[in-house]
């Protein structure tokens, strides 16, 4: 007598255990192949959003320059130090606070050193302390090597001198804004010199930058030092040779920044 299963039409039979295992294995292989692709696509979309943010920051600063006789806003303002900085100076030119936040940056709301408020160091001050609608995230910083509020100390001893566009010989190749992990409003090349890099880079080793002429671009951190250093408007700190300084800075970079 034939087994009962033999009388069941083939098209009505279920999967065998081996067939199920094969299907599961195929799904696992496809997932292993596709998940990294999806992750890269998501990060690409986030970086595009970040690039658009920086283009808007550049456009806001371009408008500010037009309104203030080609004078950049100070990094921090002396009459409200450090409660008011360049981010707040251009706030009226921005449609939304979200422009100040890169969607890839997990450091966006880390407190700035020496403060108790999350995000930008100015959040710790009145009148916006405790007001969530006025809080600014971390993600972007001025280039402190050329736009720190006291950049003119060496020359005049007075400090708090705003930069003018005309004082920059090659604005297309001088960094104005960079991506940051810190609540400080500025980061300089000294963060690289010290080995404690606070510059934020994306998973593809690229970062976004706004140059002093207010255009935005993407490049690796190492490219800002060689073949041309883009941090200092004159010679690097200590009157060093720009090429030698750039090579030294790149040699100090971790692998993910090169």
pTM of the model: 0.81
Q: What is the pLDDT of residue 65?
A: 96
pLDDT tens for residues 205-234?
889 999 999 999 999 999 999 888 899 988
| Whether pLDDT at 239 is above 90 | no
What is the spatial distance between Cα 224 and Cα 256, in angstroms, rounded to a whole number? 15
Count of Cβ atoms closer than 10 Å to residue 50 Cβ: 24
Pairing mode, strands 186-187 and 140-143 = parallel
pLDDT tens for residues 18-68?
777 777 888 888 777 766 655 666 767 777 889 999 999 999 999 999 999
Q: What is the pLDDT of residue 39?
A: 60
pLDDT tens for residues 119-168?
999 998 888 888 888 999 999 999 999 998 887 654 445 568 889 999 99
Tokens of 36: 């990294």
What is the spatial distance between Cα 1 and Cα 119, in angstroms, rounded to a whole number? 79
Residue listed under structure tokens 């080609």:
70
């Amino acid at each position: 007598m034939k087994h009962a299963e033999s009388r069941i039409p083939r098209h009505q039979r279920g999967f065998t255990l081996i067939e199920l295992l094969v299907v599961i294995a195929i799904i696992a292989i496809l997932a292993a192949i596709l998940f990294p692709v999806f992750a890269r696509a998501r990060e690409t979309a986030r970086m595009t959003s970040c690039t658009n943010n920086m283009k808007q920051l550049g456009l806001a600063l371009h408008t500010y320059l037009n309104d203030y006789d080609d004078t950049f806003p100070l990094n921090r303002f002396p009459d409200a130090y450090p409660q008011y900085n360049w981010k707040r100076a251009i706030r009226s030119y921005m449609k939304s606070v979200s422009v100040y936040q890169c969607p890839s940056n997990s450091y966006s709301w880390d407190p700035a050193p020496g403060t108790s408020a999350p995000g930008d160091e100015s959040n710790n001050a009145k009148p916006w302390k405790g007001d969530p609608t006025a809080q600014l995230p971390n993600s972007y910083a001025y280039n402190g090597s050329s736009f720190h509020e006291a950049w003119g100390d060496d020359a005049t001893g007075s400090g708090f001198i705003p930069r003018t566009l005309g004082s920059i010989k090659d604005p297309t190749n001088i960094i104005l804004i960079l991506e940051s992990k810190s609540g400080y409003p500025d980061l300089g090349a000294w963060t690289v010199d010290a080995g404690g890099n606070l510059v934020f880079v994306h998973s593809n080793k690229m970062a976004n930058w706004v140059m002093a002429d207010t255009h935005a671009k993407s490049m690796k951190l190492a490219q800002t030092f060689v073949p041309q250093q883009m941090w200092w408007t004159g010679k690097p700190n200590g009157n060093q040779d720009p090429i030698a300084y750039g090579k030294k800075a790149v040699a100090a970079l971790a692998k993910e920044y090169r």
